[in-house]
Structure 1
Amino acid sequence: MALVDNLEAMLARGQESALLRYGLGSEYVKLGEPGRAIEHLRRAVELDPAYSAAWKALGQALAAAGRGEDAIEAYQQGIRAAEGRGDKQAAKEMGVFLKRLRRAQSE
C-alpha cells in the first residue's frame, strides 16, 4: 500500500502523466480494486492513446469488474494502438485475452 500512497501523493502534487496513472491503475488491480484501477487506467489512455500496456491493464480491470463488453472494447482499442506502434507482443497478448473473454461470454 505504501507504493499506492506514494503514487497518489505524486498525483496530488500535480505530477500527472500516463505513466503515473498506469502505475496507479496497475497497483489497484493487484490490490483487487478494479473500480479504482479503471479510473486511473482510463485517464492513462486519455493522456496517451497509444499506450498499449495501459489498454491491456484497462481491459483486465474492466473484466475483473464484470464489465465484459467494456473490456472487449478496451482490448480492441489496445490492439489497434499496439499495432500502430509495431508492438506485436502486446497486440498478441490482448488478442488472447479478447478471445478468452468472448469465449466466456458465449458460454
Structure 2
Amino acid sequence: MNITALEKMLAKGNDSAMLRFGLGKAYLDDQNAEIAIGHFRHCVGMDPSYSAAWKLLGKALLQGGDASEAETAWQQGLAAAQEKGDKQTEREITVFLKKLSKR
C-alpha cells in the first residue's frame, strides 16, 4: 500500500499498531525519517512488544542522526524480540547494535 492509502485509513479512524508500522515503514522507505519516527513511536506506544517496529524505529532514528536514541530503541526491541522468541528480529537488532558500537 502507498502512503496516501495508509494515511486515508488513519484519517478514517482505523488507528492500530499495524497501520502505524506500515506508515512508518512507508515513510522510512521514502527517506522521510522524521515522519517515520513519529509513526513508529506511536506503534510501540500501542504495542510495546512489537519488536519489528522497535527495529525500524532504531533505523529511522539513526537515519535522522540520533545514534543514542537508535541504540535505546534497539535495546528495547531486542528485549521485546527475546521475550516473544522472535529470533530473526533478535539477530538483526544484534547486528545493528554491533555495527553501531563500532562507529
How far the C-alpha of 1:8 sits from its partner, in A, is 0.5
Match of 1:92 in 2: 91
Match of 2:75 in 1: 76
State the alpha-carbon separation in 2 of the partners of residues 67 and 99 from structure 1.
Answer: 16
| Alignment root-mean-square deviation, CA | 0.9
Match of 1:5 in 2: 4
How far the C-alpha of 1:53 sits from its partner, in A, is 0.6
Match of 1:103 in 2: 102
How far the C-alpha of 1:7 sits from its partner, in A, is 0.4
Q: Which amino acid aligns with 1:52?
A: S
Match of 1:14 in 2: 13
What pairs with 1:18-37 in structure 2 (closer than 5 Å)? 18-37=17-36
How many percent identity over aligned positions?
Answer: 48
The question of 1:44 aligning with 2:43 is answered: yes
State the alpha-carbon separation in 1 of the partners of residues 22 and 97 from structure 2.
Answer: 22
| 1:32 counterpart SS class | coil
| 1:66 counterpart SS class | coil
Query: What stretches of structure 1 move > 3 A for 4+ residues in a row?
Result: none
May I ask how many residue pairs the two structures share in their alignment?
Answer: 103
Q: Which amino acid aligns with 2:45?
A: E
Match of 1:66 in 2: 65
Normalised by the length of structure 1, the TM-score is 0.94
How far the C-alpha of 1:57 sits from its partner, in A, is 0.5
